[in-house]
Each structure stands twice: as C-alpha cells, then as structure tokens.
Amino acid sequence: MSTYSLPIPFPPLLVGELAAREPAGRPAAATLPDEVLIERVARHDADAFTVLYRRYERPVFAVLLRLGGQRALAEEWLQEAFTRVWLAAGSHDAARGRVKPWIYAIALNTARSDLARKRHRMPHVSLEGASIDLPDTNDSEPSLSARLDDEKQASALASALLELPDYLREVVVLRCSRELSFAEIAAATGTPQGTLKSRFHRAMLALRLRLGRRPGGGR
C-alpha cells in the first residue's frame, strides 16, 4: 500500500542525522561558502545548517553577550536567532546581500525585539538628533585611555558600555567584534555608514562622560 507523503521533511529527522554524510563527489559542506549553505538550508539540509551554525555561533554569541550583558539572555537570543535563520533561509535573497550580515541582522533584531518587549512600559528617551550632553574638545583633560590601564578599568568601561543606548552600543559592539566592516554593519542594520561612524564617535564621547570625565574634555 502506498502511503501519502509530502515533499516536506520532518524536523525529527534532523536531530538524529547530524553526522556528516556527504555523497561521493559532493564537496564537503564545511568548505562551502555561506551562499551555497543557505540555499541548502532553505531546502532543509540539516548538514548545511550545522556547518553554518558552527561557523557563526561563536562570533554571534559574543556580540549578543555584549549587547545583553547576561549569558542566559544571550543564549536565549542565539537559539531564537538561529531558529529564525533556519525558518527564513528560503527568504534570503542573495542578490540583496551576503549571508553574514543577514545572519547578524537576524540576531540583532532578535535582541532588539526582546529588549523592546522587556522595556515596552519604560519611557524611551531618544538621543538621536536631540541635544545630548556630551563633552567637547579639551586637550587638558585626561584621556579615556589613561584610565584603561588595568583590567579593573576595562571592566568599568565594559559596564559603561552596557549603559549606553542600544543604538550606540550596537555599532561599537558589532565593529569591535572585528567580524563586520562598517559596510556590513550598514547592510545588517539598514543604517548608512556615515551614521554608524557618527554613532560610534558619539558612543566614545558618552563613555568618556560616563567614566567621569567632565563635559568639556575629549575630541
């Protein structure tokens, strides 16, 4: 008796069949570029997804950890982000951009949505375009780097980073991760490069302020 079957693979198959199993003559998935992998993921290829996940889990997790400041939160976001990558793989349009910024965009949106949900009742004060009490140039002030000589100070800076508005922290964390160029961050966030660099600079000024430098100092 023939059974009624659909051309839709069921996920339970994925969990048990993660071992690498490339047919002879087919290039190993680990060496394939992201664009090929995402096409395979769109066709529900669990091996391709595994390679893509292993390729990006660490850098994406590091970024999420620095955006959220809590490991549990970052783990939750990582899981949600890669679930979305799997489910949305078919909608990735290679003509509109590369896979890496696309993955980061998903991770970033996951974090943003969650943060927005958690803060939805809190008043939001936008610093963008508004006047912000940031320091002006003054060579006589001690530089930020002068207070970053030891690990304690670096830790203080990391804490200060967490207090920055999300849109300022994002660009600093993303660029300092050394995983994405400004162009790729622009692609991931939909923000022009010039704006991103300006935000980065504003973040630096805000950090000086938060670390105790009185207004009037800094570049």
Partner 1 sequence: MTHPSPGALLELYFGEAPAYTREALAMHVKECTECATFARELRGIERALASGPDDAPPRDGLERVLAQVAAVRPARTRRAEWLLAVVPSGLALVAGTWAVRTGGERLTALGLVPGVSLGVVSPELLGLSLAALGLVVVGALVTLALAPVLILESHGRS
Binding site for partner 1 (CB under 8 A): 3-6, 8, 10-12, 14-15, 18, 46, 50, 53-54, 57-58, 61-62, 65-66, 71, 75, 78-80, 82-83, 86-87, 137, 139, 143-145, 148, 151, 154-155, 157-158, 161, 172-173, 175-178, 181-182, 194, 197-198, 200-201, 204, 207-208, 219
DSSP 25: T
- Taking the C-alpha atoms of residue 98 and residue 84, their distance in angstroms, rounded to an integer, is 17
For partner 1, the closer of residues 53 and 104 by Cβ is 53
Question: Cα dihedral sign for 130, 131, 133, 134?
Answer: positive
Asked whether the beta carbons of 65 and 71 are under 8 A apart, the reply is yes
Asked whether the beta carbons of 188 and 180 are under 8 A apart, the reply is yes
**Least distance to partner 1, CB of residue 26, Å:** 22
For partner 1, the closer of residues 13 and 28 by Cβ is 13
**Residues near 146 by Cβ (< 8 Å), separated by ≥ 6?**
none
**Least distance to partner 1, CB of residue 190, Å:** 19
Q: Retrieve residue 115's tokens.
A: 């943060």
**Least distance to partner 1, CB of residue 147, Å:** 8
**Least distance to partner 1, CB of residue 86, Å:** 5
For partner 1, the closer of residues 108 and 161 by Cβ is 161
- Taking the C-alpha atoms of residue 208 and residue 64, their distance in angstroms, rounded to an integer, is 23
Amino acid identity, residue 8?
I
Asked whether the beta carbons of 46 and 53 are under 8 A apart, the reply is no
**Least distance to partner 1, CB of residue 123, Å:** 28
For partner 1, the closer of residues 30 and 65 by Cβ is 65
For partner 1, the closer of residues 105 and 107 by Cβ is 107
Q: Retrieve residue 25's tokens.
A: 């003559």
